Amino acid sequence: MAAPAKVEQQKNHLPFLDGIRGTAILAVFLYHSLGIGFGADQLKWNGLVRDFSASRSFLILSPLTFGWAGVAVFFVVSGFCIHLSHQKCREKGWLVFCNRRFFRIYPPYLLATFAFFFIWPWGSFSIGSPERLVQLGSHLLAVHNLDPETFFGINGSLWSVAVEIQLYAIYPLLLYIVGKKGWKTALIFTGTLEVLIRIAESISVTFYNESIPFIIKHSPFGYWLSWSIGAYLAQCFLEGRTSWLSRLRFDLVAVVTLTVALFKPTEPFGFLAWALLTGMAIDRLISEKWSLPKNRLFDLLWQHLTSLGLISYSFYLFHQPIINITKLVIGNLSPDKPFNPILKLAICLAWYPVIIGFSRFIYRRIEQPSIDLGKVVWEKFGR
């Protein structure tokens, strides 16, 4: 258990979280770039196991197929930061919570939704068809994750933002259970729901080769434990006590996490496994069982990842449609013959500094002013 004075000193700042966010968003970016470059972001299935008969270049780059796990990392970090912020907030109540969350999340999300719905080459100003009206409406209400027709409809990355918003909506329920029964019962409850949903998905894809309904699979309850792990760690951090995650073997959990993706019956548990692994890493960094390497090369890399973590939300909102422009460019350059996948991947990666620059602009001109506006609104109308 950390000394009380040391814990109190640490409570206001956890800089490594920005580095973790940066690592997560970089993994997601590489994952989506791989998908565009090779036309696939995963090894195919050969029965119930992964098929390793892919091209040599894809096999060499296959570690990038785990980049989707960056979303699981984001969920754990989100649970940690949301609970930490809420518990430390001097003004209690759900109105102030909703105000803070709305102005932090929704305005940049709204900008991304409108940009990729209305602006060429991603969309058009026409919303005359019922299908486009449903797409826009479901995204504005942040419920598009519940239907396969709208899940990837405007921007493939926005589904997780919708889940995140829904997790905020049921956060009071999590705290109610914690208040009545404690964190152990709350984690068992959220874990039971998420695991049951993932068991149902495992049975469905294994025996029927199809997913369960999205309204169940991608509901917030399907990610509740993954997010709650972060909230639980934040509570342990505030109280200066160790978590039960400290008793788990990181190396064994890491092996299991990497292995579940290789088999169709276990693949649905990959998200939860990555969330657990992320929680264990955060726990060890908080307790200082782990420390970051001390050398110049790592310092430079971590400095970049930390700065990337600060703008990770804007980067996440805008990166995927931007690198999708690569398809349009290649279609014009090579309309009649296949394009080298490595070169296609390189073109996607070349967007990286452009997206960083644009994300910094959105962070400074949209994200931060939106947060400030939320404070003004609360001062005038919320109290």
Provide DSSP, 75-100.
HHHHHHHHHHHHHH-SS-SHHHHHHH
**What pLDDT score was predicted for residue 382?**
73
pLDDT value of position 128:
78
Question: How far is 168 from 174, CA to CA, in rounded Å?
Answer: 10
pLDDT (0 to 100) of residue 13:
63
CB 142 within 8 A of CB 105: no
What local confidence, expressed as pLDDT, does residue 199 receive? 98
Per-residue pLDDT of the chain (383 residues; tens, 9 = 90+): 344 434 444 444 688 999 999 999 999 999 999 999 999 999 999 999 999 999 999 999 999 999 999 999 999 999 999 999 999 998 888 999 999 999 999 999 999 999 999 998 998 888 879 999 999 999 999 999 999 999 999 999 999 999 999 999 999 999 999 999 999 999 999 999 999 999 999 999 999 999 999 999 999 999 999 999 999 999 999 999 999 999 999 999 999 999 999 999 999 999 999 999 999 999 999 999 999 999 999 999 999 999 999 999 999 999 999 999 998 888 777 777 788 999 999 999 999 999 999 999 999 999 999 999 999 999 998 76
Residue with tokens 């027709």: 149
Q: Report how far residue 86's alpha carbon sits from residue 92's, in angstroms, rounded to the nearest whole number.
A: 8
**CA nearest neighbour of 199 among 212, 190, 188:** 212
Residue whose C-alpha is closest to residue 25's, from 376, 315, 231, 244: 315
CA distance 12 to 78: 16
Burial 128-142 (b: 16+ CB within 10 A, else e): eeeebeebbebbeeb
Please tell me whether the overall predicted TM-score, pTM, comes out greater than 0.85 for this model.
yes
Residue 119, number of CB atoms within 10 A of its CB: 12
* Sequence-ordered list of residues with C-beta below 8 angstroms from that of 165, at least 6 positions apart, any chain: 101, 105, 106, 142
CB under 8 A, 24+ apart: contacts of 240-243 = 240/1, 240/2, 240/3, 240/4, 240/7, 241/1, 242/1, 242/283, 242/287, 243/279, 243/283
Q: Which residues form the domain of 301?
A: 4-382
Q: How far, in Å, CA of 1 to CA of 373, rounded? A: 40
Phi, psi of 338 (to 5 degrees): -60, 145
The Cα 280–Cα 230 span in angstroms is: 10
pLDDT in tens, 149-180: 999 999 999 999 999 999 999 999 999 999 99
DSSP 3-state helix, strand, coil percentages of the chain (rounded to 5)?
75, 0, 25
Tokens of 100: 């803070």
| Helix 296-310, helix 16-38: angle, nearest 10 | 80
State how many domains the chain has.
1
Confidence (pLDDT) at 383: 67
Distance separating alpha carbons of residues 225 and 232, to the nearest angstrom: 10
356 CB contacts (<8 Å, ≥6 apart)? 308, 311, 315
Give the pLDDT confidence score for residue 336 in this predicted structure.
73
Tell whether omega for the bond before 121 is within 30 degrees of 0, i.e. cis: yes
What tokens were used for 198?
């993932």
Read off the DSSP letter of residue 211. Answer: P
d(CA 185, CA 174): 10
Contacts by 34-39, CB closer than 8 A, 24 or more apart: 34/61, 34/64, 34/65, 34/67, 34/345, 36/323, 36/324, 36/326, 36/327, 36/344, 36/345, 36/348, 37/341, 37/342, 37/344, 37/345, 37/346, 37/348, 38/341, 38/344, 38/345, 39/341
Q: Are 187 and 232 in contact (CB under 8 A)?
A: yes
- Give first-to-last CA distance, the chain, whole Å: 38
Distance between CA atoms of residues 152 and 162, nearest Å: 12
